[in-house]
Each structure stands twice: as structure tokens, then as C-alpha cells.
Structure 1
Amino acid sequence: MFKTLDDIGSGKRVLVRLDLNSPVEDGIVKDNRRFARHARTVRELVDAGHRVVVMAHQGRPGRDSFVSLAQHADLLAEYVETPVAFVDEVYGEAAIEAIRSLGAGEVLMLENVRMCADELPENAPEDHAESEFVRTLAPEFDCYVNDAYSAAHRAHASLVGFPQVLPSYAGRVMESEYEANTSIANREFDGPVTMVLGGAKATDVIDVMSALDEGVDHYLLGGIVGELFLRAAGYDVGYDVGGTELYDHQWENNEERIRTLLDERGDRIHLPVDLAYEDDDARAEILVEGIEKDRDLLDVGSLTVERYGRVIEDSAAVFVKGALGVFEDERFADGTVGVLESIASTDCFSVVGGGDTSRAIELYGLDEGYFSHVSIAGGAYVRALTGESLPAVDALVEN
């Protein structure tokens, strides 16, 4: 296992990697739960008298979201409740000077690490350790802390290079995310384990279902994957209408696996019994029996929510990946929100993962405290559920 903040001591020069990647609208970086989560790690390092230098990324080159981290420094400062200085370099002369002038308990944020050419290639950790980026920055620090669990599935320089050359530790987000997201494989529960699976990326969901067999008692499906499984079960849904490009290519890529899963685990896979659609600007619902798809189907129906709720109430653990409908539109949030409310009112261990689903909690005013863990990870959460290794976690363990 990796070491944590408990093992560092005090008064160190600490390089800490966060994931503050955020929505950007008209050049303005939007606040989100990542700042609050990561602030705990930064605050703890500050209180221990460390000199704290923050690395993070924002967007990718060529995208509108690829912006400077100057705004991120101000947002993080609000949560840490201490000033966060900013330097518009990653490892140039100005950055090194700012790092060397930092005092105990002070925080500095470096520029967007993806503005560094050495960062993005998916290289072996040993190769990243030899990059100019790592070789220049590493000598300025006593240790490295990785708190960027949501980026842990990437083999980028700031995530896997520094553990090759510095004593390395997991921050509090990395620690809690790893423990919660691997619990479905690593823990035993005194009762049924249920997975709620939806969203637009059906292949991700099917990967999770294929990887997790004996450990899951119930799969509750919705969203795109719910329709695809209904199609395999013989219902007239699960294909594109009206110009959408969500279903047909995912059906072609996954038909065999879907049919195999239904054949082998049909008694554990729960499919929607009704679906919702838009009718004269209002929500309408239709039973899947006898359905003919001639319009977009945007949510699971109320009967499905009720049936899924009964399964959840009898569960010892519930894991969520993906929304059951287009919850951004309040008319079609009943499935996603209804299932989340069932989980919140049940005395079970619960992990809600994936950006969309966790955003629904915030959007509809649900209390995070009613869930055992709300993950801020997307790709890393899927990797953890499928048992795939996470390069950044592996780097911490090996260190």
C-alpha cells in the first residue's frame, strides 16, 4: 500500500499534484467540489508547516477549456483559507525563484502542467523521470504528494515521474477515493451488493459488468445502456432516431457481450419497465411492453424507479456509475434523483461515482452526507471497478 500524509512529518518542501480540472464558461473557471476536496490536503500540509507547491492541469491543448491556472489559485485560496500565490511558469527561472522564496506554511501554484511539453506523453515512469520537467523541479523538494486520484489512470509526467525520484505520499483525496472505489472488490458485505449503471458510455458500463461477476447481486440499468439491453431482450428501443448518434455504434461494438451478459446473468440484471419522453413540452411515460421507438427516450419511468428503490432498500452496498436519464432537464431527472434518494434513505454502504451522477447530487440539493462516498473521479472510477491498474497509484505503491 502507499504512504499517506500521516507519514511525512513536518517542515518539508512539498510538491503536491491536485486535479482541479473544471468547467470553463466564457473564459471563467467555474467552482466545483474538487476545490473543496483538495483543500483538505493543502490545509493539512500548511498546518504542518510545510512549504507547499501545487501542480494541476486544466483542459487539453486546442480546447477552449485549456486556460491558465491563475483563477484556480484564487478559488483554492478561498477553501484553504490562506493565500495561494501563482507563477505563470511550470519550471522556468521565475518558477524556481518563487519556489525558493516560499516560507513555511505558504502555498504557491504553478502554471497549468499541460502547458509543459513533457507532461502529456503516456510514457513509462522511468522515462518521465528523465524529462527536463522532472529533473528540473525535483531537486527543489523533499517529497511529493499525489492527491489527483481522478487523473490516476493517466501515465503523465506529473503523476508518475516524480515518485521515481522523490519520497512520495498519497493525499487525503487519493487515499479516500482509492479505498472507496476498490471496496467492491476488496470488502465483504453482509447482504446483497447492487450496482446502478447508466450514462451515455455504454462500453464503460459493459466493461464494469464483465469484470464484476460474483461480487454483484443486482444490476439496475438505465440510460443508453439500459436501452441497449432492452434491445437485446427483444424490445423496439436502443437505436438512433431523430439524428442521434448514441446507440447504433455502441450496439454494433457490444451486441455479443450484451447478449452474453443477459444469457449468463439475466436473473440479476434489472431492466426498465417503463421509459419517459417529451410530449408537448411535458414529461410522458410509456411501458416498454409493446413500445415502438419513434422519438428520444429520456429517462426511466416511475414504475422502474419504484422497482429499483425496493432492490436498493434490501441492499447492503450500492455502487452508482452513470445517470439513468437526462437529469440536466428537470423533467427527466426523476430516475436519477429517485434512485439517489432511495440510496440516501437506506442504511447501506454507498459509492456514487462518475462526474454526471455526482453533479446530480449537487444540482438537486441532495446531502452528500447521506452517501458513504461521492467520487470526483470518472475514468479512474471505471478503472477501479474493472480491476485495471492505475499508473499513478502504482507509482505511489512502488515508491
Structure 2
Amino acid sequence: MTSIQTIDDLDARQRLLVRIDVNAPVEDGVVQDDRRFARHAETIRELLDDDHAVALLAHQGRPGRDTFVSLEHHADILADHLDHEVDFVADTCGESALAAIDALEPGDVLLLENVRMCDGELPEEDPDAKAQTELVRTLAPTFDAYVDDAYSTAHRSHASIVGFPRVMDAYAGRVMVEEYTANTAIRERSFDGTVTLVLGGTKAEDAIPVIERVDDTVDRFCLGGIVGELFLRADGYDVGYDVEGTSLFDHQWDDHRQTIERVLEAYGDRLSLPTDLAYEDDGSRAETSVEGVTKEMSFLDVGSETAASYADLVSDSAAVFVKGALGVFEDERFADGTVTVLSAIADTDCFSVVGGGDTAHAIELYGLDEGDFSRVSVAGGAYVRALTGERLVGVEVLEREQ
């Protein structure tokens, strides 16, 4: 039997290395979304209350991309959420970092530089190999324990995620525990009533495995977004392909056509597909039935009839899980499908988890209350893997024999 130690198991006044995930959209070097900061601030605040000295490891972007920047600005944002000073050092495991770590006192918080700037953090390798990287070998001896609060990176076998638990005492933070518990509920909990999964977004390769792997626990699926259009195409409608200016449909259709058609045949009676779609017409929202339509423009949302139908389905559910948006909700004209369904979930007394990509952002953007959902997940890839029951290496390395 295995178990995971949490921060409840820590002795007070320790020097802790804490992995968080504050990776965020960045424009012109400025962070555009601070939701992850707010979540991790709760864990850090709790650690400070127990007089721990905290050094934080995090990443931003990936080498070669515009979002691959220093974490100096991140320290300021985190300090605002904590209402507590967060020191920053432009180094991760060199002399400057080690000096800053050595100077840590109980109640101090230090953010180390972007861990992906370190050789050995990437690529993904076996945890034992990652434990031998310079990052782990240098930092591990300077701390009493390691805390992983970065659930959204739990599917990555990177040094800062899987290396440290191999060589030192390791614990799960609050975000790690809460996200994992909520996101695995679709497979691990029994619900007294219908379980509905709302699937949208842009990636068929994410949606298809979810449908096939949770068929024994989910009663019905409501499809939208590009995923919904691709399934409509498989069902014989003249939608789900690229028009001028788009490149999202045809390559996914070519890659996944056989699987989509197989899933549609196997689960057709449990799949709810859009009956109408919305598009832009002279600057305004317009809608059309999928019956008899010929695709000549981009469809940007499910239509009002579909949104109302999906809202009725989730309102009659004991549990609802959401992965991906039903439309381009960032444009208010095409937010109706996503917001209508989210509002129905919020008004329903059901167990609910919303996540996948930027879907959770719609809750904040349109003034919904996170408290009306059982969990609003800020994880992407890890959320999808939890839904499908795939292994999360970042969780596995925290497990220990009882």
C-alpha cells in the first residue's frame, strides 16, 4: 500500500524547496494571468505560518519561445498575492543562488530563477536520471525537505519535478492534493446519478482518449468547439473542415478520422453534438442550423439551441466535468455556449470540475463565482491525463510504501 506525505506531515521551522507552477501567458515580458499565483500563495502562506524558510522553484515558457523569460516580475506578482516580501535571485543553482538560500531565515520567501534555464531540467527522462542532474545534486543538500505543489506539471518528468523526491523527503502541497483529488474523481468516485462530461477545445487528440477511457464512468458527452465540428463531419454534416484563413480542422481530420468515426459509432447514443452553430456576419453574431448548412465561414461557438440543450443536460446531472471551451469565449459575441453551460453547472447542486486549457479563465472573465464549482482546475495536460487515468509521474514519485 502506498501513500503520499502532505505538508500536514512536516515538522515546523524547516528550510523547504517548493516547486510551484506560475507559468503564464506573457506579452512584452508582462504576465497576463495570475490565477496560478493566487493558488500557490495559499500553500506558501500556510508554510510561512509554520515558520518555514521557503525557496521556490518554477518555470516560465520554454527555450526558444517569446514566453521564455526571467521570473523577476513573477516575484513581484507573488508578493502581492502573499502580502509578503518575495526575494528574487537571478540564478537557480549557482553561487548566487546558494548564497541566497544560505541566508534564508524562518518566514523568508525566495524565488529562484526560471528553472528551465538550467542544463538538465529538460528533456523528460527517468526520475533516477533526473536525480543525477546538477540542479538536484546541488540544491538537495541545502534543504530539509522538498514540497511539490505544481500539480499542473505532474505529467512532466523534469528534474525539478521528479529528481528531488528520489534523494530527499518529499511532500505534496495543498494545490497538488486538491487538484489530484478533484481531477481523479471522474474515475475514483461513485455518483448517485448521471455523470456528464462537456468536451470542447481545439485538440481532437485530447478529447478522443477521454471519451474512450471514461466510458465506464461517464453517461453522456456534450461536444463543442473544434472537437464538436469534427464529430459533426464524421456524422455526415458539411462542417468540420478548414475554410480560407484557418488550419485547425483538416490535419486533425486526416490524423484522427478513423478514431473519430469509430468513437461516433461506438458511443453515438451517448454523444450530444451541436444542432446549431454561431458565426460572424457583418461584425455581429449569427447562427445557423447544422441541417443543410454548407461551411463557407468559420464557426466560432455552438448556437443558442445547443447551449440550452447542454444546459438542461448538466442541470440534470449528479456530476459534471468540463474539458475545453465550446467556443471562442474570449470574444464576448461567441461566449454564449461556454458561459451558458458554466452558469447552468454553477446553478446545479452537483459535483463539478472545470479545467483544461484556458476554460477556467471564462469563469473569471464573465463574473462567475469559483465557489459555485467543486473545483476550477488551472491544469492543462495533467488534467487531461487525470481524466483518462494515465500515470502522472510527478505524483508517482511522491508515493511511498506505508
Normalising by structure 2, we get a TM-score of 0.98
Residue correspondence of structure 1 range 275-354 to structure 2 within 5 A = 275-354=277-356
Task: Give, in angstroms, the shift of residue 18 of structure 1.
Answer: 0.2
- Please give the alpha-carbon distance, in whole angstroms, between the structure 2 residues aligned to 1:316 and 1:64: 43
- Please give the alpha-carbon distance, in whole angstroms, between the structure 1 residues aligned to 2:167 and 2:111: 21
Contact 1:277-1:297 within 8 A present in 2 as well: yes
Task: Give, in angstroms, the shift of residue 266 of structure 1.
Answer: 1.1
Q: Secondary structure at the match of 1:319?
A: strand
2:166 to 140, 164, 167: 164
- For 1:281, the aligned partner's letter is G
- Please give the alpha-carbon distance, in whole angstroms, between the structure 1 residues aligned to 2:33 and 2:345: 26
Contact 1:31-1:75 within 8 A present in 2 as well: no
- Please give the alpha-carbon distance, in whole angstroms, between the structure 2 residues aligned to 1:73 and 1:35: 10
Matched with 1:62 is: 64
2:40 matches 1:50: no
Task: Give, in angstroms, the shift of residue 30 of structure 1.
Answer: 2.8
- Write out per-residue CA displacement over residues 286-334 of structure 1, whole angstroms, 9 at most, x where no aligned residue: 1111111111111100000111111111100000000101111111110
- Please give the alpha-carbon distance, in whole angstroms, between the structure 1 residues aligned to 2:246 and 2:23: 28
Matched with 2:34 is: 32
Matched with 1:238 is: 240
Matched with 1:5 is: 7
- Please give the alpha-carbon distance, in whole angstroms, between the structure 2 residues aligned to 1:10 and 1:4: 13
1:189 to 151, 166, 191: 191
Give me the identity figure in percent.
63
- Please give the alpha-carbon distance, in whole angstroms, between the structure 1 residues aligned to 2:71 and 2:257: 43
Residue correspondence of structure 1 range 1-399 to structure 2 within 5 A = 1-398=3-400
Q: Secondary structure at the match of 1:54?
A: strand
- Please give the alpha-carbon distance, in whole angstroms, between the structure 2 residues aligned to 1:305 and 1:31: 27
Contact 1:18-1:54 within 8 A present in 2 as well: yes
Task: Give, in angstroms, the shift of residue 104 of structure 1.
Answer: 0.7
- For 1:35, the aligned partner's letter is F
- For 2:167, the aligned partner's letter is V
- Please give the alpha-carbon distance, in whole angstroms, between the structure 2 residues aligned to 1:290 and 1:332: 22
Task: Give, in angstroms, the shift of residue 63 of structure 1.
Answer: 1.1
- Please give the alpha-carbon distance, in whole angstroms, between the structure 1 residues aligned to 2:290 and 2:191: 34
Task: Give, in angstroms, the shift of residue 31 of structure 1.
Answer: 4.2
Q: Secondary structure at the match of 1:62?
A: coil
Q: Secondary structure at the match of 2:139?
A: helix
Q: Secondary structure at the match of 1:266?
A: helix
- Please give the alpha-carbon distance, in whole angstroms, between the structure 2 residues aligned to 1:115 and 1:5: 28
Task: Give, in angstroms, the shift of residue 19 of structure 1.
Answer: 0.2
Contact 2:70-2:114 within 8 A present in 1 as well: yes
- Please give the alpha-carbon distance, in whole angstroms, between the structure 2 residues aligned to 1:328 and 1:29: 17
Task: Give, in angstroms, the shift of residue 153 of structure 1.
Answer: 0.7
Q: Secondary structure at the match of 1:355?
A: coil
- Please give the alpha-carbon distance, in whole angstroms, between the structure 2 residues aligned to 1:255 and 1:67: 38
Aligned residues: 399
Contact 2:34-2:77 within 8 A present in 1 as well: no
- Please give the alpha-carbon distance, in whole angstroms, between the structure 2 residues aligned to 1:268 and 1:349: 20
Q: Could you tell me which runs of 5 or more consecutive residues in structure 2 were left unpaired when the two chains were aligned.
A: none
- Please give the alpha-carbon distance, in whole angstroms, between the structure 2 residues aligned to 1:30 and 1:297: 27
Q: Could you tell me which runs of 5 or more consecutive residues in structure 1 were left unpaired when the two chains were aligned.
A: none
- Please give the alpha-carbon distance, in whole angstroms, between the structure 2 residues aligned to 1:24 and 1:106: 27
- Write out per-residue CA displacement over residues 58-104 of structure 1, whole angstroms, 9 at most, x where no aligned residue: 11111111111111111111111211111111011111111111111
- Please give the alpha-carbon distance, in whole angstroms, between the structure 2 residues aligned to 1:383 and 1:267: 25
Task: Give, in angstroms, the shift of residue 355 of structure 1.
Answer: 2.7
- Please give the alpha-carbon distance, in whole angstroms, between the structure 1 residues aligned to 2:325 and 2:32: 22
Task: Give, in angstroms, the shift of residue 243 of structure 1.
Answer: 2.9
- Please give the alpha-carbon distance, in whole angstroms, between the structure 2 residues aligned to 1:240 and 1:55: 41
Q: Secondary structure at the match of 1:261?
A: helix
Q: Secondary structure at the match of 2:286?
A: strand
- Please give the alpha-carbon distance, in whole angstroms, between the structure 2 residues aligned to 1:222 and 1:340: 13
Q: State the superposition RMSD in angstroms.
A: 1.0
Contact 1:128-1:161 within 8 A present in 2 as well: yes
- For 2:214, the aligned partner's letter is L
